Structure 1
Amino acid sequence: MKPETLPAPATSAERDWVEGELVRSLMRTQRSTQWLALMLVAIVVGILSDDNEPERLGAWVGVWLLVAAWRLWVIHQYRTRVASQPTEAHLAFFRRNILVWPVSALVWGLTTELYFDRSPLGDQYICWLIMAGLAMFSINSLSARLGVMRAYLDILAGSALAVMAWRMFVELELQGPAYHWWVAMLLLIFWQVLRHAGARLHETLRRNFELQYRNMQLIESLTRQTQAALDAVEIKNRFLASAAHDIRQPVHALGLYADWLRGEPELVNELAPKIVAATKAVNHLFDSLFDLARLDSGKVRLNVEPVDLSKLLHNLELQYLPLCEAKGLEFRMRVCPGTVRSDPILLQRIVGNLISNAIKYTEKGGVLVASRCTRAGLRVEIWDTGVGIPQSHQREIFREFYKVPGHGGTEEGFGLGLYIVARLSHILGHPLSFHSRVGRGTVFRVLLQPTDPREAGERAVATMAQMFPGDVTGS
């Protein structure tokens, strides 16, 4: 046989929510209950008016009206002050006013003094039916709170039995008719049946609310997962946009070389190697994009190896020099020979994107790419004489798709260059910093600390959550 599956244990949040809903369920029935009770009082008074002194009956009605006014006040306070409050307020309010229901049961139980063995059997029968109906109705209106329902039934039945016992044992000294014992026995049985039925109904209500809570949690979880799937699609779209952003530069360079070759065929020996190099750069960028896609999925290990920095920078010079010359800018490179442990493709993307941004936002002057030997290790610097970055935007420029408002050059591109730089420098463990002055230019510095493959892999997995590095700071 398949073993029975036990329900998951309720969390504290679930328990609090369910308790609050049980209070709300009980309070929603109270106004209609009061109107029903008022009609029952009118019936009782009409039946017993000929069997009791007006003072006795009037005293009972007066006490009932006071309790009814108390209940109405509690209902009004709940509707006006508590109904829209959090669960904690509902529970606290209910605890403060919990006595109103047991007191109400006591008043109804004491009606037994007005008719038990004091009225004709027909009138007693009708009053007992009213009491039975009131008790059955209470398990529907109060079963949301098991303790309150049990207290109501216990006090209702207990007070009625106490009145009957006083009449049978003290006043009549066990000389009353035999039906007294049968009525008492029926009352005891009916009392226990109602307690059991109320407990079952309470358990049903509680399970329904628990199921409702878990369904809401499931819907919320599915909503989050759906949103995560939509976000993943958006990230893929942005990733394709970043591919277009990065491929544009070497393809543009190829176009410039082709135009020069068509206009000056005698330069074929000089331009052919540059065309080959630019073509390789395109291939490298494609490889880079595929590597990043695998990197985001966590399925590819980084290719960390010794990188000849001077060779890497000269390859980038071949790619970006024509773009500078086409804009009338000077492109200079100062290289300090050396090697660094890093991923060559991703490192080339970091420096290439910084050079691309420098060219894009510079209209006069030039761009300087330099590698320097420092005590902390090799450092690559990209200087430009461009528009600079205002202080108010310097914390935002590494956000995805962010473009500084009013900057020339932002019309083209997708605002992905610096986002990619920040992300990759964080993965490789190459701290990134920058300094900028509006109208004077900007310098980005990448400190090429040796990349630890294991730590880099962990950081690569973390980038799936699109977290920005904490070590990217302005300086």
Structure 2
Amino acid sequence: MKLDTAPSIATPAEALWVEGELVRDLMRTQRNTQSLGMLLVPVLLVMLWPDIPHAGLLAWAACATAVAAVRFAVLRLYARDVVHAGADSHIAFLRRWWPVWPASSLAWGLSTLLFFERAPLQDQFICWLALAGLAMFAIVTLSSHLPTMRRCLDALALSALAVMAWRMGVEMHFAVPVQHWWLMVLLLIFWQMLRLAGLRQHLTLRTNYELQYRNDQLIGSLRRQTQAALDAVEIKNRFLASAAHDIRQPVHALGLYADWLGSEPEMVHEIAPKIVESTKAVNALFDSLFDLARLDAGKVRLNIEELRLDTLLQHLELQYRPLAEAKGLEFRVHAVPGTVVSDPILLQRIVGNLISNAVKYTRRGGVLVAARQTRNGPRIEIWDTGVGIAPAHQREVFREFYKVPGHAGTEEGFGLGLYIVGRLCHILGHPLRLASRPGRGTVFRLLVQPTDAAQAAQRAASAIDRLLPQRAMAEIDAVVGS
């Protein structure tokens, strides 16, 4: 790899950050550098004053001071407007004001007009030494930004070489001592060595910032993974606590009924239905947990096809009407003919969960399941006259394991039904709206928009997050009815 080839950058974001930090590094050193340059101006004036025409000496000093004043103004502008800004602002600032730095180097390079073959030899040596020091100091302070460093070195070296060539060729007609030619050769070698050293230092700084960026990214990734692991542990603990709490009652009841049946077998007709109900409760819990596990693993199987809404609701009526009538509730189904594009099993699971909740939390009155045609497409509505949901809980009910505090009937639930409904609605692309009034009832409105198979598969694959995705929550608008 060539030395002047910058190391590869992984991403545009990394490239932008690294360039911004290199500009910050450059600007951090400039005030001290400029102060040192200003201190050298009176030193050269005092040293060359006895031997150099005063007009030329003062003109050069005025030029160097003016350039330094502009540079100080630029530094104040940077400190006022840019120092706390982002990488874009730093890069744009230097792109706008870069000529200030080579202009300063040019002013110092033209100082050779004052002393080369005009001042005593010892004064010339000191002046050359000052210029060499400034050039090497530029390597330290400017190498973080390679173009700026190169422009400054080039301006300093080329202006000095141009003055030497003018003196030796035009004013002295090449009748010069041989050491002048060696001096030019040494200056050329020194110039290229400084460029090479500056390049190496620049690559070192760039590599350090790239490593810093990647380390920060790695640390951030580790923090996120650690937090994800802690969240997973918390969810697991909550899962186990909730599952243990919910399963304890039906399992304990099964044990009691089994003991009762063992001691009084003649009461089998009375005890058997209770055992069946407890078994159903355990099975319902496991069904919900298995549904949740499939969602969390992203293993939901999709079978997108066209299906009839009235047929779907008829199947659900056969399943849930007996449950409603057993509680003394009126159960009505109103379905208009029509078709929708969705997954029949998952759609039935969504509507079935909503109907099950309506029956569970309704003590008097009834449940209405209706399918309507709207401007936006077919819509399934589940109405009940149950306990209702307070506005403060209408978004929370879609969270995993969430149960409305003090809500009659929640002691029989697992806090998973609406969570699974929300996840499945998100996967199928069916927006769900909720309106409820405590003590008056609840209505869920499911807009069955046509499901795009590719998009649904992509959403299903992203369902590995154990918490309800924000996109799904955005689609489940908890709208409070009037």
Fold agreement, TM-score > 0.5? yes
- 1:102 is matched with which residue? 102
User: Could you say which residue in structure 1 is the equivalent of 2:345?
Assistant: 342
Q: How far, CA to CA, are the matches of 1:435 and 1:103 in structure 2?
A: 71
Q: Distance in 1 between matches of 2:357 and 2:227?
A: 31
> In structure 2, what residue type is equivalent to 1:17?
W
Pairing 1:374-389 to 2, within 5 Å after superposition: 381=382, 383-389=384-390
Partners of 1:259 and 1:335 in 2: CA distance:
41
Query: What do the CA deviations read for 1:87-127 (whole angstroms, capped 9, x no partner)?
Result: 22112221222111111111111211221111222221111
- Pick from 309, 329, 349: which aligns with 1:332? 329
Equivalent-residue separation in structure 1 for 2:378 and 2:270 (angstroms) = 36
CA shift digits 1:186-225 (9 cap, x unpaired)? 1122112212222222222222222322222232233333
Whether the 8 Å CA contact 1:143–1:202 is kept in 2: the answer is yes
CA contact (8 A) 1:387 1:438 kept: yes
Q: How far apart, in 2, do the equivalents of 1:138 and 1:29 lie?
A: 10
Question: Residue 342 of structure 1 aligns to which amino acid in structure 2?
Answer: I
Distance 2:159 2:139 in 1: 18
| Counterpart for residue 79 of structure 1 | 79
Partner of 1:324: none
Matches within 5 A, 1:180-191: 180-191=180-191
Flag the 1:111–1:454 CA change in 2: closer, same or farther, 3 A: closer
Confirm or deny: 8 A CA contact 1:242 1:414 kept in the other structure.
Answer: yes
Aligned length: 449
C-alpha distance in structure 2 between counterparts of 1:173 and 1:74, whole Å: 42
TM-score scaled to structure 2, two decimals?
0.75
- Provide the rounded CA distance (Å) in 2 between the counterparts of 1:107 and 1:234: 67
Q: Write the deviation string for residues 254-283 of structure 1: whole angstroms up to 9, x where unpaired.
A: 699799999x99864233233234224314
Query: SS of the counterpart of 1:243?
Result: helix
Work out whether 1:48 is the aligned partner of 2:48: yes
Residue 289 (structure 2) pairs with residue 289 (structure 1): yes
The RMSD of aligned alpha carbons is 4.6
Residues 194-213 of structure 1: matches in 2 within 5 Å? Answer: 194-213=194-213
Match of 1:228 in 2: 228
Identity of aligned residues (%): 55
Q: Tell me how far 1:180 sits from its aligned partner.
A: 1.6
Return 169-178 or 136-145, whichever deviates more.
169-178
Paired with 1:456 and 1:96, the residues of 2 have a C-alpha distance of: 49
| Rounded Cα–Cα distance in structure 2 between residues aligned with 1:455 and 1:287 | 26
Q: Say whether 1:366 aligns with 2:364.
A: yes
Measured against aligned partners, the alpha-carbon deviations of 1:392-420 in whole angstroms (never above 9, x if no partner) come to 76455424466668x65599688655324
Q: Cα 1:346–1:173, aligned 2, differ >3 Å: closer, same or farther?
A: closer
- Residue matched to 2:160: 160
Provide the TM-score with structure 1 as the length reference: 0.76
Q: State the Cα deviation string for residues 230-257 of structure 1 (Å, max 9, x = none).
A: 3333333343355356546746876997
Tell me what 2:148 maps to. 148
Shift of 1:84: 0.3
1:441, CA displacement in angstroms? 2.2
> Which residue does 1:125 correspond to in 2?
125
**Structure 1 residue 174 and structure 2 residue 174: aligned?**
yes
Query: Which AA in structure 2 matches 1:62?
Result: A
Q: Is the 8 A contact 1:403 1:410 kept in 2?
A: no
Shift of 1:444: 4.9
Could you give the per-residue CA deviations for residues 14-48 of structure 1, whole angstroms, max 9, x where no partner exists? 22222211111111111111232233334323322
- Structure 1's 250 and 414: CA in aligned 2 closer, same or farther, altered over 3 A? closer
How far residue 13 of structure 1 moved from its aligned partner, in angstroms, is 2.1
Counterparts of 1:438 and 1:352, CA distance in 2: 18
CA contact (8 A) 2:136 2:194 kept: yes
Distance 1:351 1:427 in 2: 20
Match of 1:58 in 2: 58
Q: Which amino acid aligns with 1:384?
A: T
Whether the 8 Å contact between 1:380 and 1:445 is mirrored in structure 2 is: yes
Matched, 1:272 2:303: no
Contact 1:105–1:155 (8 Å) recurs in 2: yes
Change (3 A) 1:248 1:428: farther
Bigger mean CA offset, 169-178 vs 7-16: 7-16
Gaps of 5+ in 1: 1-5, 322-329, 360-364
